[in-house]
Amino acid sequence: MANTTILVTGATGFLGKNILKAFKNNSDITLIAACRDQSKLPKDFQGEVREGDLRDAAYRQSVVQGIDVICHAGTWSSLWNHQKMEVDNFYQPTIDLIDQAIGAGCKRFLMTSTVAIARVARRTGDMDTVIDDFSEKTYTGFWPHLDRLIDVDDYMHKNAERGMHMVNMRLGHFVGAGNTIGLVPALVPRLKTYLVPWLSGGKSRMPLVADSDIATSFVAVTFAKGLKNYESFNICGADFPTMREVIKHISLKAKTPVPLFSVPYPVGYLFAWFMEKLLPIMPGKSPFLTRSIVHLAEDWHCNTQYAKDKLGYIPQKDWRTALDEALAELESRDYPWTHLAQKYD
């Protein structure tokens, strides 16, 4: 798409900043950043800024005007509970943003999602087996953000005939400096307590994906030709390390203890449920462990061949490099105890 106008929502967040960076040197586009506070944008960003809050209906209507492609990285999220906040801050604004974009004549909408919306497939045999069909989605019943992501995906699929390409970006677990909510920032300080177990021996594969590779995938989808009205891509790194490999790497770099014992997944979910129930009588604003974290630690060794064939997507950054960058940034903040819900101030 030559002379394409691209809107990046959530432009001051982890994903948004990396997407802006990936588009920065492309002279064939007009790049627009949507955010609530433009002072938090990268200092070298020179494009147009549309400042506002996506929870504001008038802003959602105005921000999509004159846009060809929307890279929607501005999603409120939480790793547990907060059902009403998910609806008010994420689901309803996202559905309306899609409708407003269609009404404004936008050509393509890229939605930030996760590979974890798929059906969990536990395998006791060949761990090199890849989940070939990632189309089946399963509600968790305990993680509102993921369940609402499934609802958004279904809405996109059902409305893909209304004149705008709908693309669901099923991302692996984000890794990179600046990511403040997710598996790695939640895991590191909890490992220091010696209370985190291996889940099923730590054999499950992790779909880690680096900041720059995520951004590259958004660029690839923006300019891809021959897309169907609705598309869904698994965007992960080149390798799928086991949980044991990831935690051992973290332990080496961050000097955290490795788990001392292993429990099966059902026990992990039960313990996480208990920690959620204990929160009202425990200090802090987030549970020690949540069922969503256990869910993220399931085996997500998924097929990325379609993204390679359709988009030419080939991840470049090794998961260890991205993890080292993330750990260095967390170390600079003394490995803070991560709250498991995004702040909306």
The answer to whether residue 339 is domain-embedded is no
Tell me how crowded residue 345 is: count the other CB atoms within 10 A of its CB: 4
Q: Which domain holds residue 36?
A: 4-332
Residue 10's Cα: distance from chain center in Å?
A: 12
Instruction: Decide: 337 and 189 in contact? Cβ < 8 Å.
Output: yes
Q: What is the pLDDT of residue 191?
A: 93
- Which pTM was predicted? 0.93
Q: What is the mean pLDDT of residues 151-166?
A: 96
The whole-angstrom separation of Cα 212 and Cα 22 is 8
The answer to whether residue 284 is domain-embedded is yes
The answer to whether residue 338 is domain-embedded is no
Give me the chain's average pLDDT, please. Answer: 91
The whole-angstrom separation of Cα 166 and Cα 7 is 15
pLDDT digits (tens, 9 = 90+) for 2-18: 589 999 999 999 999 99
The whole-angstrom separation of Cα 10 and Cα 54 is 9
Q: Would you say the C-alpha torsion 7, 319, 246, 301 has a positive or negative sign?
A: positive
Q: Is the pLDDT of residue 283 over 70?
A: no
The answer to whether residue 345 is domain-embedded is no
**Which residues touch 303 (CB under 8 Å, ≥6 apart)?**
130, 131, 132, 134, 234
The answer to whether residue 156 is domain-embedded is yes
Our count of domains for the chain comes to 1
Instruction: Decide: 178 and 17 in contact? Cβ < 8 Å.
Output: yes
- Residue whose entry in the numeric block shows the structure tokens 């705008």: 164
62-83 core/surface letters (b: 16 or more CB in 10 A; e: else) = ebbeebbbbbbbbbbbbbbbbe
Q: Worst-scoring range by mean pLDDT, 244-253, 274-283, 288-297?
A: 274-283
Q: What is the pLDDT of residue 181?
A: 81
Q: What is the pLDDT of residue 81?
A: 87
Give the residue among 114, 108, 53, 102 at the shortest CA–CA distance from 229.
Answer: 108
Q: Is the pLDDT of residue 1 over 50?
A: no
82 vs 31, more confident:
31
Give the 3-state secondary structure of the chain.
Answer: CCCEEEEEECCCCHHHHHHHHHHCCCCCEEEEEEECCHHHCCCCCCCEEEECCCCCHHHHHHHCCCCCEEEECCCCCECCCCHHHHHHHHHHHHHHHHHHHHHCCCCEEEEEEEHHHECCCCCCCCCCCCECCCCCECCCCCCHHHHHHHHHHHHHHHCCCCCCEEEEEEECEEECCCCCCCHHHHHHHHHCCCCCCEEHHHCCECCEEEHHHHHHHHHHHHHCCCCCCEEEEEECCCCCCEHHHHHHHHHHHHCCCCCCCEECHHHHHHHHHHHHHHHHHCCCCCCCCCHHHHHHCCCCCECCHHHHHHHCCCCCCCHHHHHHHHHHHHHHCCCCCCCCECCCC
The CATH number of the domain where 300 resides is what?
A: 3.40.50.720
Instruction: Decide: 109 and 287 in contact? Cβ < 8 Å.
Output: no
Q: What is the mean pLDDT of residues 114-122?
A: 83
Q: What is the phi/psi pair of residue 272, to 5°?
A: -65, -40
Record the tokens describing residue 313, joined without a space. Answer: 């997507």
Tell me how crowded residue 276 is: count the other CB atoms within 10 A of its CB: 19
Q: What is the pLDDT of residue 281?
A: 76
Q: What is the phi/psi pair of residue 100, to 5°?
A: -65, -40
Record the tokens describing residue 241, joined without a space. Answer: 């390390």
Q: What is the mean pLDDT of residues 192-198?
A: 92
Q: Worst-scoring range by mean pLDDT, 222-226, 253-257, 266-270, 338-342?
A: 338-342
pLDDT digits (tens, 9 = 90+) for 66-109: 999 999 998 888 888 889 999 999 999 999 999 999 999 999 99
The answer to whether residue 342 is domain-embedded is no
The answer to whether residue 183 is domain-embedded is yes
Q: What is the pLDDT of residue 184?
A: 87
The answer to whether residue 337 is domain-embedded is no
317 vs 27, more confident:
317
The whole-angstrom separation of Cα 202 and Cα 7 is 40
